[in-house]
């Protein structure tokens, strides 16, 4: 995909984002609607998109790249956890929790599939799904402890949330179908395909509703700018170095860099509000990194392309 095609993809996604912001401003999507859209995407649409990506001809080379991608993702999550031990200690506790969470949880869960599919087609979605496994595990385990450490954590519930997460279940089932090459009924695959095709529009609408909730003049400050350098430049640079070291193929390498270079995860604002942390600061981090990523993601795609 050329640089101009990448720019066109970004503009298309941004247009969908603006529609979501407009729907929010007009009151068509209220707080309940926003929550409903998020649950629908995470529980149904994104899992269908993941499962659909696995319905391809089995190739041992693809399976090998999936294994290397998983290893790369594990190393990157370890790096983020290590950075969180000392990088944000100068911040107040409520902001420190937000920055730690945003470091380990990018917005790949929402933005990842549309961008990977637009650039790399179905195999990009498959690689993205594999790459995000460690992030999803850390998100629902370590990530939640940043906000609820003093409230008593039910470890069994955390483990259940991780193992039964709809996106991970879709990966389990999809890999089984890909490896066994089982032929599923046409009505099932077509249903999954049609639902999965809603992924790009719905996820962009959700990001747009987040943007609409924050006055743009309030989002820029030194802290959000510094964090953007880490989230959008330094971490994807580390991903690129690790991908080259592991010898990932161009598609797998591109996926690892782009997924690592995503803006801060939207769930940061949700968790911050739910557990009495600094929700306005979390929202500013999410919105500012999302806006800046409109420039950095095409740049990284061009570099790894």
Token pair listed for 110: 């929402």
Pairs from 178-182 (Cβ < 8 Å, separation ≥ 24): 178/54, 178/55, 178/56, 178/58, 178/126, 179/58, 179/63, 181/57, 181/58
Model pLDDT, residue 149: 58
Summarize pLDDT for 140-168 with one digit per residue, the tens. 778 877 876 555 556 677 667 667 778 77
Q: 265 vs 7, which has greater pLDDT?
A: 265
* C-alpha distances in Å from residue 156, one per residue of 136, 153, 159: 16, 9, 5
Q: Does domain 3-300 have CATH number 1.10.443.10?
A: no
Model confidence at 70, in pLDDT bands (50, 70, 90)?
very high
Model pLDDT, residue 152: 54
Model pLDDT, residue 28: 92
Q: Answer whether 0.85 is exceeded by the pTM.
A: no
Token pair listed for 98: 């937000």
Nearest to 21 by CA among 199, 207, 220, 266: 207
* Range 254-264 average pLDDT: 94
Model pLDDT, residue 217: 76
Q: Which residue's entry shows tokens 């880490």? A: 230
Q: 173 vs 147, which has greater pLDDT?
A: 173
131 and 72 Cβ atoms separated by less than 8 Å:
yes
- What DSSP line would sit under 7-28, residue for residue? HHHHHHHHHHHHHHHHHHHTTS
SS3 169: helix
Model pLDDT, residue 102: 94
Model confidence at 197, in pLDDT bands (50, 70, 90)?
confident
Torsion of CA 209, 213, 215, 221, to 10 degrees: -90
Model confidence at 254, in pLDDT bands (50, 70, 90)?
very high
CA distance 95 to 171: 34
Model pLDDT, residue 101: 93
- What residues does each domain of the chain span? 3-300
Q: Is the pLDDT of residue 89 over 80?
A: yes
Q: 241 vs 47, which has greater pLDDT?
A: 241
Model confidence at 124, in pLDDT bands (50, 70, 90)?
confident
267 and 105 Cβ atoms separated by less than 8 Å:
yes
């Amino acid at each position: 995909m050329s640089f101009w095609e990448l720019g066109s993809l970004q503009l298309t996604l941004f247009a969908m984002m603006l529609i979501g912001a407009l729907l929010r401003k007009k009151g068509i999507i209220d707080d309940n609607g926003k929550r409903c859209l998020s649950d629908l995407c995470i529980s149904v649409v994104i899992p269908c998109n993941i499962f659909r990506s696995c319905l391809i001809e089995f190739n041992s080379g693809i399976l090998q790249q999936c294994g290397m991608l998983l290893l790369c993702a594990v190393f990157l999550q370890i790096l983020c956890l290590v950075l969180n031990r000392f990088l944000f200690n100068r911040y107040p506790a409520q902001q420190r929790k937000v920055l730690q969470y945003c470091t380990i949880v990018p917005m790949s869960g929402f933005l990842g599939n549309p961008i990977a599919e637009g650039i790399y087609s179905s195999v990009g979605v498959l690689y993205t799904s594999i790459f995000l496994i460690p992030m999803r595990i850390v998100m629902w385990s370590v990530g939640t402890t940043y906000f609820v450490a003093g409230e008593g954590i039910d470890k069994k519930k955390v483990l259940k949330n991780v193992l039964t997460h709809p996106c991970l279940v879709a990966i389990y089932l999809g890999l089984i179908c890909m490896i066994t090459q089982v032929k599923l009924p046409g009505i099932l695959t077509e249903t999954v395909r049609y639902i999965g095709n809603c992924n790009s529009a719905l996820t962009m609408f959700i990001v747009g509703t987040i943007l609409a909730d924050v006055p743009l003049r309030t989002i820029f400050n030194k802290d959000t700018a510094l964090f953007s350098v880490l989230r959008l430049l330094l971490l994807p640079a580390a991903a690129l170095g690790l991908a080259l070291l592991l010898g990932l193929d161009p598609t797998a390498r591109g996926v690892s860099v782009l997924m690592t270079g995503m803006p801060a995860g939207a769930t940061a604002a949700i968790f911050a509000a739910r557990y009495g942390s600094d929700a306005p600061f979390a929202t500013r981090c999410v919105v500012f990194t999302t806006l800046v990523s409109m420039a950095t993601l095409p740049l990284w795609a061009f570099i790894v392309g």
